[in-house]
């Protein structure tokens, strides 16, 4: 805890002082541009990898960056999505998975999560991912299989996202864009799903990230 205590002190003494205007303006309200849904994994820091400030992105984190279909979950994710989309009127929603994801490893190894009943139950919301990988990639093993599971899971959760009424309504009006990203822990790179090639490609410096098309997208099986 000493590291956290030292950090708190440093933040207050150094960062707050140099960002006074920002925090004053944030005290009047928030207007984030995007909803960022990612894994709870400690190795991902959404503000760090996107180089954004407090107030820029509304963040939802859980084990496996999962979005339960509307009406199927405990309600926490649905409430956050509804608040971000209908009240804060975010213009973009990003689902960002990551390589080496322990949750996706658990999805591939049900026996491994047997001692964790809450995790096991939560991963049922990724059943679509598990089945896609089982049926479409029977020949892929090891770490490659895990990476494909991470990539398929982001797309599966995007489809779940589309079942939420507020998301659907704004998509229909063209007021919302969805993005499928994977953060590669080993290199710090972020990949985005490119619907035309059916693959994930690095997000380049040229131009903004590519939004997904309105219809369901599929990773090209290999």
Q: Residues in the site for Zn ion, rule: CB under 5 A?
A: 39, 41, 101, 103
Cβ closer to Zn ion: 63 or 195?
63
Q: First CA to last CA across the chain, in angstroms? A: 46
Q: How far is the CB of 101 from Zn ion (least distance, A)?
A: 3
Q: How far is the CB of 73 from Zn ion (least distance, A)?
A: 17
By C-beta, is 46 or 177 nearer to Zn ion?
46
CB of 178 to Zn ion, least distance (A): 20
The 3-class SS string of 15-64 reads: HHHHCHHHHHHHHCCCCCCEEEEEECCCCCCHHHHHCCCCCCEEEEEECC
Q: How far apart are CA 193 and CA 86, in angstroms?
A: 26
Nearer to Zn ion, 78 or 101 (CB): 101
Output the smallest distance, CB 41 to Zn ion, in A.
4
* Residue (146 or 195) nearer to Zn ion, CB: 146
Query: What DSSP letter does each residue of 196-217 carry, written as one string?
Result: TTTEEEEPPSSSPPPPPPSS--
Token pair 């209908």: residue: 86
């Amino acid at each position: 805890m000493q590291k956290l205590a030292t950090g708190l002190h440093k933040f207050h003494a150094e960062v707050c002082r140099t960002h006074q205007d920002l925090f004053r303006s944030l005290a009047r309200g928030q207007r984030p541009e995007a909803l960022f849904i990612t894994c709870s994994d400690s190795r991902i820091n959404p503000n760090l990898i996107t180089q954004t400030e407090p107030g820029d992105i509304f963040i939802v984190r859980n084990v496996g960056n999962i979005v339960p279909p509307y009406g199927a979950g405990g309600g926490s994710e649905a409430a956050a999505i509804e608040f971000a989309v209908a009240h804060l009127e975010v213009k973009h929603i990003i689902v960002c998975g990551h390589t080496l994801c322990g949750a996706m490893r658990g999805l591939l190894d049900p026996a491994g999560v047997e001692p964790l009943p809450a995790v096991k139950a939560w991963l049922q919301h990724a059943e679509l991912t598990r089945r896609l990988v089982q049926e479409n990639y029977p020949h892929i093993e090891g770490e490659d299989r895990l990476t494909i599971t991470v990539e398929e899971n982001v797309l599966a959760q995007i489809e779940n996202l589309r079942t939420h009424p507020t998301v659907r309504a704004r998509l229909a009006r063209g007021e919302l864009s969805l993005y499928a990203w994977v953060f590669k822990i080993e290199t710090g790179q972020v990949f985005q799903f490119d619907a035309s090639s059916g693959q994930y490609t690095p997000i380049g410096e040229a131009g903004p990230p590519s939004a997904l098309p309105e219809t369901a997208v599929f990773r090209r099986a290999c």
